[in-house]
Structure 1
Amino acid sequence: MRLETQEALSIARQAILATGANDAIASSLATATVSAEWAGSRAVGFAHLPDYLDGFVQGRISKSAEPTITSPAPALTQVDAHGGVAQLGFDRAFDQIVERANAFGVTVFAQVNNYTVGELGYYPRRLAEKGLVALAVTNATAQMTTLDSRKPLYGTNPMAFAAPRGGSKPFVIDQATSATAFVNVRKAAESGEAIPEGWAVDAHGEPTTDSRKAVEGLLLAFGGARGANLALMIEIMAAGMTGGNWSMDAPSFASGSECPAVGLFVVAIKPDLLVPNFVERLAAQIDRLAGQGVRIPGSHLNITELDIPDEVLARVREFKPLA
């Protein structure tokens, strides 16, 4: 179904409100959901919204938590989401993040006790729209392993980077340290499709291309030890530097009544304090790389309208809690 932005926002917001979540939470989460669709990140757009809806109903996500914002140092913003959605804490602190980056040249946002963050690129992209260069990392329930361990060690532990560029939308990279995102494995399992080698292991720790077995197993890091090292680095920032649960200790984001209580860590930099023509230089360099045949992240996207699959919208509109 093709939707206008406001119609999509209304559908998402009403579904969230129907679970008992308050208006502020519904507005923040609906906005992020629709933004993910516009960014081409459909796996964490409307398709991911039922995970939130079930989380509200089952108690994994607070329906009324108001984030607490503190400043342990002038350039640091610390937020406790109190078991709520990550998007609301970021929204509440957003103006402060921008102001401090402009004032100090660099600032850090560290949030703890939130549910999974949805589309990670949403956070640095919004900052890039304000002229900042930003890096965001997060962790989640342990669902990734290595072939050395074959035990749950890390979340998919993604990283996202965004930078402003002249005459165009922000340049954004958003990728997991796993070979793929769990939602992609789950989607393949729902349709009975096989997955590529190197994506996952089954419940016994054996590599598999059977998506249904993979859902019961664990994801693998991309690039072997190198990807696992990046996952650990992100874990240190997203859990260690926020005080959130290590992925190994985080309750499931998909079942039970406990919040994963993981972290979101964002660094924002004012680039023109270092290089006055940064935006123009970046735009020119990206064009130069594209001219050399480099596939620029996001360059293949040409989304002019929201086209949400009927079955996804039906699931959101007629949401029923998971058994």
Structure 2
Amino acid sequence: MSIKDRLAKKTGDLMVPAPASPEGGRGASPRTAPGQMLAFRSAMRESSDRVSQLEAQLKDYDGTVPIRALDPATIHASKWANRQDFGDESFAELKSLISEAGGNTQPIKVRPDAEGEGYEIVFGHRRHRACLELGLPVNAIVDREITEQNQFVQMDQENRARKNLSPWEQGVWYKRALDDKLWPSQNAMAKACGLSQGNISSALLVAELPDEVIAAFPSPHDIQFQGARKLAGALKKARDEIVQRATELAEDPARTASEVLTALLGAARPAAPARKEEEVGIERKGDLLVIRLRASGVPQDRIEELRQLIAGFLEDVQSSGA
């Protein structure tokens, strides 16, 4: 076998397209083995140059996070979802802005569902809900490595950076995490979330109010931290009285949150003892002597008789003085 044949046999699978001709087409493929080797080396250099160009372009994206447009129907709320109200004015405004923009400009974060179907929200429940109702894809960052604890922390931080949760929403959320043993204590949760233990304790006071007390307010979102602290202290002294009063107040939805709080705290205070009024009171005021009588003790038809008795008394005093 000739050298040409042996080279052709060894390099037969290294055939490369012929280099492009000046007219834009491709020239004829090299016929000789050395020509094919040269063409292969030229193609390798071109490929290496292209790889270098792509690597240089990729450097522009260092540190960036890819955003994907997902079908909102494939995404479900997290078990730690803490947004309970999608009917308020702020949600309507958010939904309008997303509609005008044709999608959410601030991406949400999701993670693959544990069951392998779709995604679970890490944060961005309101933006997801708006896109779902508008029938728009939702822009999302997919985090495949996030733990459940980190999911909770990121959701807490993201919400505090935007529209704050109501004290009641915060309390319910923190209480659920502690009940599920996501953290062993309030202190451990506080450190993970970057909060003081007092912040969490205050929120828990709201969530741990009796159901009857919460139902007495126009909305649980109306309960503030300071009011919850006062109610918690009052409940230790007069729980039955406050719960009973709350049950009565729940039947009157016209009351404001302030009125409800005042009424509940009033139910915890013992009634002041009835003041026993004197039948006859006499008080000197300057040149006057004021006589007070209980009206119920003097019949109407005997008032004139009383006036005459007093007038007679005054005459006797004046006569005695003369």
Q: Same fold (TM over 0.5)?
A: no
Question: Which of the two has greater strand per residue?
Answer: 1
TM-score normalised over the length of structure 1:
0.22
Flag the structure with more relative contact order, 1 or 2, with Cα contacts below 8 A and sequence separation at least 6.
1
